[in-house]
Structure 1
Amino acid sequence: MRIILYSKPGCHLCEGLQEKLEQIQNLKFELEIRDITTREDWFQAYQYQVPVLFLANARSTEGTQELPLPRPSPRATVQQLENMLQKYL
């Protein structure tokens, strides 16, 4: 499974969430960081919402689908984030 984090440079919430995701050890997933400033469609969609998490679900017959995940609290611990992700992975 792959988790996609839409982010932008200088976003402290994005950086904090990325650090916590990278510390998760009990779940197997690939973390893909997408800088919204590199594509106009991403920027228009998420400029006021980053960080945004999606689960890339490769099991679809129509190709990869991106399913939105709930936004975790910036105060969530690594363990709380891991518990939340377990429900979706």
Structure 2
Amino acid sequence: MSNFYCEYCGTKSSSISSLTGSSCSRHPLGGNKGRHKLYEGSEKSKYSCKYCGTSSSSISSLTGNSCSRHPNGSNKGKHAAAL
């Protein structure tokens, strides 16, 4: 059985519909102001930020920290997992 993850927060779900049907605490518009977004990459042992290259063992721990090279400005957004 496949696992599906949220691109913004790393929440894991067994189906796309249950994942995208729930509110996301790390949504770019603000906590719970939008739904989870499906991460379309594959499951990996390490996830890297597409802006700065920082890596982490989970999407959740990666996206929980600010990124020094975020497009909105230094530390004005979170890391984003590269596909």
TM-score, normalisation: structure 1: 0.26
Higher share of residues assigned helix:
1
Higher share of residues assigned strand:
1
TM-score, normalisation: structure 2: 0.27
- Per chain length, whose mean CA-contact separation is higher, i.e. which structure has more relative contact order (CA < 8 Å, sep 6+)? 1
